[in-house]
Amino acid sequence: MKFRYLDFILGAFVSVLLISNIASAAKIVTLGQLGPLALTFDAGTLIFPLSYIFSDALTEVYGYSVSRRVTWIGFICLALVSVTILLVRALPGDPAWLATNALGDPAAADFGAQAFDKIFGLTWRIVLGSLAAFWCGSFLNDFVLARLKVRTQGRWLWMRTIGSTLLGEGVDTLVFALIAFWGVLPTETLIALIVSNYLFKCGVEIALTPLTYLVVNGLKRAEHVDVYDRDTDFNPFILTGPQG
């Protein structure tokens, strides 16, 4: 079955993954206090919740088998970009490039490398954390959403999208933070990072629920499809074609 908008959603989904992954490594930001809690985020959190909205739309409209394929495509693209950045960081830099904008200061002779690391500061722990968190959180989110759709007979979309996100984002946030930053950040900062990221991601999902309704209903009308995963094999390691 040929879909009109699936490729656009796939492109947007992968773009969000790659941008959020690079931004997460580039900066950790604090946006004030919520009572005793410091609102501390890795910068990728600002855009990453959109990936769950795309996942919700994919699973709700096209079914788990399609969202599973898209998740694997996103995972492979994320792994390719991450490994490439790690490889580039490991390669020796050209002397002229290393001194770019150093202005003759010997202490700044590796300015180019420092600038690269500042923007693409991926480490093997961040790469591993990002990949593991995305894989676990995305498949849990899609599985829960698909099963709830069958159980509720397609009713209460808001409950299903928010419920699946609470679980998926919880696993995603915890896995990423522990793998990437355990032993690197002070415990207090790490806890603040986990709690702030989770609250923000879930808050975005809840706030954008009306948009999710518009997108899902619009896609169902345009694509003439509304898949119920009654007989779907939910094994994440198999890739079956779209269901009709």
Q: What is the pLDDT along the chain (244 residues), one digit of tens a residue?
A: 689 999 999 999 999 988 887 777 667 777 676 666 666 666 777 788 888 889 999 999 999 999 999 999 999 999 998 888 888 877 887 777 666 665 555 555 676 666 666 666 667 788 888 899 999 999 999 999 999 999 999 999 999 999 999 999 999 999 988 998 888 888 888 888 888 889 888 988 899 999 999 999 999 999 999 999 999 999 999 876 554 4
Give the contacts of 126 (CB within 8 A, at least 6 positions apart).
Answer: 24, 25, 180
User: What distance in Å separates the CA atoms of residue 86 and residue 99, rounded to the nearest whole number?
Assistant: 21
* Cβ-contact 243, 4 below 8 angstroms: no
The domain spans of the chain are: 6-28+44-223
Is residue 63 within 8 A of residue 241, CB to CB? The reply is no
Q: Which amino acid is at 243?
A: Q
pLDDT value, residue 243: 46
208 is written with which tokens? 């954008």
Three-state SS string across the chain, please?
CCCCCHHHHHHHHHHHHHHHHHHHHHCEEEEEEECCEEEEEEHHHHCCHHHHHHHHHHHHHHCHHHHHHHHHHHHHHHHHHHHHHHHHHHCCCCHHHHCCCCCCCHHHCCHHHHHHHHHCCCCHHHHHHHHHHHHHHHHHHHHHHHHHHHHCCCCCHHHHHHHHHHHHHHHHHHHHHHHHHCCCCCHHHHHHHHHHHHHHHHHHHHHCHHHHHHHHHHHHHHHCCCCCCCCCCCCCCCCCCCCC
Q: Rounded to an integer, what distance in angstroms lies between the CA atom of residue 146 and that of residue 10?
A: 19
